[in-house]
C-alpha cells in the first residue's frame, strides 16, 4: 500500500479537490487539517470519500474526555479513515477517544477509523518544550507519550521521523507511526544537507530515511503540493521508496 498521505493544506474545497484529482493513483490518501476543515467543513471529507479516497482527519482533538469523545464520534460520521488527538491530553482522554471510535463505528455500521495520538509537534525543540514546562528532551517525551497512547488503546501516534525508530522499539511492529516533517532531497542532490527548505519543521528526514526508520505513513505537503508539477513530484517520491 502506498504510504504517502498528501497534506491538503489549502484554503478552499476547489483547490483541495483539484489537487486530489491531480494526485489520485500516485498517493495513498489525503490529510485534511485545520485550514481546509475550517474553510470547507465535513463536506470535504464526505466528498473525498465519495471519490474513493482515504482521509486522515488531522484536527488534533485536545479537551476533556467527554468533549473529545463527542468530537471523535462526529469524525467517524464523516467517514474519516484516520483521526487524531493530542496524547498530552492524558490516558483518560485517549481512552475516551478510542472507545468513542469503536462505539460510533458499530452504530453506523462502518469500519472503525484508526485513532492516533500526536506526541510532540515537529516544530518543537528541546528549548520549546522547556519553555512550556516539559523537562524531558524531545526524544524522551515522544517515547513516553507513545507508550501512554498504546496503553490507552490508541492505534498509533504522530511523531517526527527522527523519533520513529525509538517508538518502534518501544511500542512494537503493529503500532502505527505517522510521520510529518518529510523533506525529500532536491533533484540531483545526494546530500541530506541539500534537503528542500524545512519551513517551520524542526525535525525532518527524507521519505526513504523515514520508512527505513520504521514509519507506517508519511504526511507530505509542500514538497508535493508546492511543486511545479505535483503529480511528478509525488511519483518521484514514491519511486524513492521502492
Which residues are registered as beta bridge partners of 6?
A: 30, 220
pTM of the model: 0.91
User: What pLDDT sits at residue 197?
Assistant: 47
User: What pLDDT sits at residue 241?
Assistant: 92
Q: What is the grid cell recorded at 239?
A: 519511486
DSSP 8-state symbol, 214:
T
Q: What is the grid cell recorded at 146?
A: 507513545
Q: Judge whether 113 and 61 are in contact, CB under 8 Å.
A: no
- 167-218 pLDDT tens trace: 999 999 999 999 997 878 654 444 433 344 445 555 567 899 899 989 999 9
Q: Out of 15, 60, 95, 212, which one is annotated catalytic?
A: 60
CATH number of 4-241: 3.20.20.70
Q: Judge whether 234 and 23 are in contact, CB under 8 Å.
A: yes
Q: Judge whether 156 and 114 are in contact, CB under 8 Å.
A: yes
- Please list the pLDDT of the chain residue by residue as tens digits (242 residues): 899 999 999 999 999 999 999 999 999 999 999 999 999 999 999 999 999 999 999 999 999 999 999 999 999 999 999 999 999 999 999 999 999 999 999 999 999 999 999 999 988 999 999 999 999 999 999 999 999 999 999 999 999 988 999 999 999 999 999 999 787 865 444 443 334 444 555 556 789 989 998 999 999 999 999 999 999 999 999 999 98
In the chain, where the domains are located: 4-241
Catalytic residue status for 60: yes
User: What pLDDT sits at residue 47?
Assistant: 97
Amino acid at each position: 500500500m502506498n504510504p504517502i498521505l498528501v497534506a491538503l493544506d489549502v484554503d478552499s474545497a476547489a483547490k483541495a479537490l483539484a489537487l486530489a484529482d491531480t494526485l489520485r493513483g500516485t498517493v495513498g490518501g489525503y490529510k485534511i487539517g485545520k485550514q481546509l476543515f475550517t474553510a470547507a467543513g465535513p463536506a470535504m471529507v464526505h466528498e473525498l470519500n465519495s471519490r474513493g479516497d482515504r482521509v486522515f482527519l488531522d484536527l488534533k482533538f485536545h479537551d476533556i474526555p467527554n468533549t473529545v469523545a463527542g468530537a471523535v464520534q462526529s469524525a467517524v460520521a464523516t467517514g474519516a479513515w484516520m483521526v487524531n488527538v493530542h496524547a498530552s491530553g492524558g490516558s483518560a482522554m485517549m481512552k475516551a477517544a478510542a472507545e468513542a471510535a469503536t462505539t460510533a463505528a458499530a452504530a453506523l455500521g462502518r469500519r472503525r477509523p484508526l485513532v492516533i495520538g500526536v506526541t510532540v509537534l515537529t516544530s518543537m525543540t528541546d528549548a520549546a518544550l522547556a519553555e512550556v514546562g516539559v523537562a524531558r528532551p524531545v526524544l524522551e517525551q515522544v517515547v513516553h507519550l507513545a507508550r501512554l497512547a498504546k496503553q490507552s488503546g490508541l492505534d498509533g501516534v504522530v511523531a517526527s521521523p527522527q523519533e520513529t525508530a525509538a517508538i518502534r522499539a518501544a511500542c512494537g511492529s503493529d503500532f502505527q507511526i505517522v510521520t510529518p516533517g518529510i523533506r525529500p532531497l532536491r533533484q540531483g542532490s545526494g546530500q541530506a544537507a541539500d534537503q528542500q527548505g524545512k519551513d517551520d519543521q524542526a525535525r525532518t528526514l527524507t521519505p526513504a530515511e523515514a520508512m527505513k526508520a520504521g514509519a507506517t505513513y508519511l504526511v507530505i505537503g509542500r514538497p508535493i503540493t508546492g511543486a511545479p508539477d505535483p503529480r511528478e513530484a509525488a511519483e518521484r517520491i514514491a519511486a524513492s521508496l521502492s
